[in-house]
Structure 1
Amino acid sequence: MSDASSSTTALPALDNTMGMLYLSALFAMGLWGAGTVQMYFYYTTYPQDSRWLKYLVAVTWCADTANQGLISQLVYTYLVTNFANPAYLSALQPTLLPMMFLTGIIALLAQTFFCWRIWRLSNANIWLTGATYIVCFASFVSTMVFYGIAADYNEFAQLIPLHPYMHALNVLSAASDVIIAMVLVFLLRKQRTGYRKTNTMINRLSLFALNTGAICGLCAILTLVFNIVYPDTYIYMLFYIIVCRVYMNSLLATLNSRETIRAIGNATIINSMPNFSNQESISLSFVGGNGHPELGLESSGTTENYRDSKMAGVRLVAFAHHVQGPHGLRSP
């Protein structure tokens, strides 16, 4: 009885160390469930999407699921298998660093998709897209380098000299997410017109893009801040572990929002147009040609393309409606 009591009192406080890992596993599982629901909605709502986009979603979800399995096994090993074994708390569990590897993969996949949207929205501006992607790829490379350096470590104490490198890694991660959000918002704002309702749709798209990048960037910033302020705790892991779930949910939320954006676009743009007395009916048409969708007004007899007007044209449509193959999109 006394031995059990002394063993219990010998355990250090775990609230800001293993307790943070436990909370990370709970939050990560909740976000994984939300992402799984979004994936089901995506495959049932957009069966016509291109094959590469479906593969992207599948690979991202599989990597995220593997990551969730690793964090669950990590917490179980520390808190159950090695319960009342204080000596093991300083050990670097072998599944921790592979989680970092998978996080880097998931981040690169999501950021590649968002850079592709920048490419389409900027009308294939190779300099803008390339500069943005270089920052994203640099973040990925830094993660892989860190993983390569620490792959054989077996003690948390061995990671202490790498803290400055971890700080630089988090700065790059936050910078890439913020840059993506800012570039998307900038390109969208350039599409503003004199029509109030069209501007309303652009504002909603801008806010959506800003929120998508800001949430991912915020996780990286909080990881950096707590790692600097509380280096002897695992509070920073709470934000680092859930960031890959945030990437997956951001990717799927962007894809699943297309029907809503299409409905907003049809309602707001049509209502913003002047009346055409010689046409019986007018509807918004997304006609694809050579892989580039064009915004037009379709009536019973004619189609008026506003290619050179100030309407939210080719680039806005390319952002709001994912192009599916060489024939583009067409909606009545």
Structure 2
Amino acid sequence: MASMTAMTVATETSVDEQLQVDLIISELPGSYGSILLGTFGGLLLFGLSVHQMYRYLRSFSQDAMYIRSLVIAVMVFETAHLIATMHTCYFYLIQNYSTPLALQDGVWSLDSLPLLSGILIIISQVFFVRRASLIGPRERVVAIIVAICLAGEFGFTIAAVIRAFIPPAKRAVRLLSTAGLGMASTADLALTLVLFFAILGSRRGRDRSESETLADRLQLYIINTGLATTVCNILAFFTALTLGIDSLVWVSFNIITTRLYANSLLAVLNSRELRGMEFFVSENHSITLTGPQFEDPANLWNAPKRSAGSFSEKFDLILVPEKAAWRTV
């Protein structure tokens, strides 16, 4: 009798486990399948970021140290975030391919994604907050509000990472991550609107360059304003808010958004013009000084200008004549 009872319990347990496994597998496309697709897209955008960083280091090697440090920090955390997403896919879809129940457990790479994303958002948005604040007094107020939103986003991110290591964590982490995405989306939207209308106003009444293409205008209004990042962040927020607790579609959007932050930052830096000042020494020789325009902070941070009067009007140029060499015979 006891053996029959034990067999019945074991059978019921195995049936429950099988039902649980079937449920996990049926939800795989919307969970870790979404992360896999986000990782693929993130790899493409990471390659673009590497190319942009190469262009930046070649063209703007004389940039201020804090700007170059900002770029290097962004790429370091981008690489760490990429490694974490690839490890997440490998751990769940390859290493535990034959153990579907492992999909319910956490792993360090997945748990660290919110922290890495939060740090990348803060570093990248510091540049755009400073850029917006240089446009004018009203934009400076918006920049302060955005900075407060970013501080709130980072707070929710830290809380989500800590909560991820205290089981059961799935629902609490989802709630905290959604709140953080909401704060980040609000900050992105505010900055995008400010930069979009500032660029639009700065170009009103000006003749377009003959060399300017449609691709250049698309980059100016979609990438350089952060519009692409804002759209992806809002999609991540709404999918996290509306889809089921087991859905990880929002994580795939968040992976793409994280890559776009680096792309936008480097695109803005690389789109600055290396205008120079040319001095004619003789009929066949001239000297060109590149970079004096970056003495103006608005030029350094590529902030849109409302009028030509915002350009730097002067800089100091000291010419030292070469001393004649004397030799005693």
Q: TM-score, normalised by structure 1?
A: 0.70
1:229 paired residue number? 242
Q: How does 1:1-332 map to 2 (within 5 A)?
A: 12-13=25-26, 14-122=28-136, 126-150=140-164, 152-153=165-166, 158-191=169-202, 194-197=205-208, 208-209=220-221, 211=223, 212-231=225-244, 232-259=246-273, 291=296, 311-314=307-310
Size of the aligned set, in residue pairs, is 272
Q: Deviations over 1:154-190 (max 9, x none)?
A: 5xx6221444433322211111111011112343455
Distance in 2, matches of 1:19 and 1:100, equals 18
Letter of the 2:232 partner, please give it.
C
Q: 1:31 to 1:312 in 2, by over 3 A?
A: same
Distance in 2, matches of 1:24 and 1:192, equals 36
Q: 2:124, 2:261 within 8 Å by CA — same for their partners in 1?
A: yes
Distance in 2, matches of 1:290 and 1:55, equals 18
What is the CA distance between 1:122 and its match in structure 2? 2.0
Letter of the 1:29 partner, please give it.
L
What is the CA distance between 1:126 and its match in structure 2? 4.6
What is the CA distance between 1:196 and its match in structure 2? 4.5
Distance in 2, matches of 1:207 and 1:312, equals 23
Distance in 2, matches of 1:245 and 1:166, equals 18
Percent identity among equivalent residues? 24
Letter of the 2:29 partner, please give it.
D
Q: 2:133, 2:143 within 8 Å by CA — same for their partners in 1?
A: yes
Q: 1:25 to 1:162 in 2, by over 3 A?
A: closer
Q: 1:193 to 1:28 in 2, by over 3 A?
A: closer
Letter of the 1:170 partner, please give it.
L
Instruction: Mark the structure with the bigger radius of gyration.
Output: 2
CA RMSD of aligned residues (A): 3.6
Q: 1:107, 1:244 within 8 Å by CA — same for their partners in 2?
A: yes
What is the CA distance between 1:209 and its match in structure 2? 4.8
Q: 1:189, 1:206 within 8 Å by CA — same for their partners in 2?
A: no
